[in-house]
Amino acid sequence: MRNRMILLPGWGLGTASLQPLAASLRAQDPRLQVELMPLPELAEPDPEAWVDYLHRKLPTDVWLGGWSLGGMLASALAHKRGDHCCGLVTLASNPSFVARGDWPHGMAPDTFGTFLDGCRSHTQVTLKRFRTLCSDGAQQPRTLLRQLGVGVPDTDPLYLANGLEVLRALDTRAALEHYGGPQLHLFAGSDALVPAEAAKALSNLLPDVEVGLVEDSSHAFLLEYPQDLAAGIKSFLHESGDD
């Protein structure tokens, strides 16, 4: 099924955020079947349980991809599936969203903890703040902010908080190092949530893997430049033997 790709969204925004990119991919490569899968809604914030859930739900022997948290989950699932994953594409997806001692290219743990507390106590305010951060650094941040507010699902606050717990716990560096399939990781140059330095650090960690940085773009760059990103992904798929 090398002509089939499953894309996972970022935290809190649902699959609507992926629609422009999916439409551009289908338009540029009519043979490619692009399907969108929402994030799990599970009562337990265990990353392994989330990856196992996706493993049960998603077909094997397809390309996996995702934006931000979706890309991290796709990375873990690609490693779990090994040869039964055609390849991996991540967008603005930090291997570790939260900074660690050996990975300083993430959000400070205290800052993340404050954000998680806000999600639990003032969910809608936190979601709006999150969308603003996603649009920071964009060429037209107000337009992008409006786009990000379209089609947002009414997700139970418990599942949103659990998603943040998963985001805090995930560290996909080992998964990426041990996954032997083709990989493409694209980052945004003016991302307010994932430091651009993460791109260089990942490139150093995985010297044989394709890592790109899109200058002057926000965390939600897949809504800013869907056609350009689709063109890059299409080239990657074909270079990886998807002809």
Please pick, among 191, 217, 218, 242, the residue that the annotation labels catalytic.
191
Please pick, among 79, 105, 185, 219, the residue that the annotation labels catalytic.
219
Please pick, among 17, 24, 29, 68, the residue that the annotation labels catalytic.
68
Write out the chain in H/E/C secondary structure.
Answer: CCCEEEEECCCCCCHHHHHHHHHHHHHHCCCCEEEECCCCCCCCCCHHHHHHHHHHHCCCCEEEEEECHHHHHHHHHHHHHHHHEEEEEEECCCCCCECECCECCCECHHHHHHHHHHHHHCHHHHHHHHHHHHHCCCCCHHHHHHHHCCCCCCCCHHHHHHHHHHHHHCCCHHHHHHCCCCEEEEEECCCCCCCCHHHHHHHHHCCCCEEEEECCCCCCHHHHCHHHHHHHHHHHHHHCCCC
Q: Is 68 a catalytic residue?
A: yes
Q: Which residues are known catalytic residues?
A: 68, 191, 219
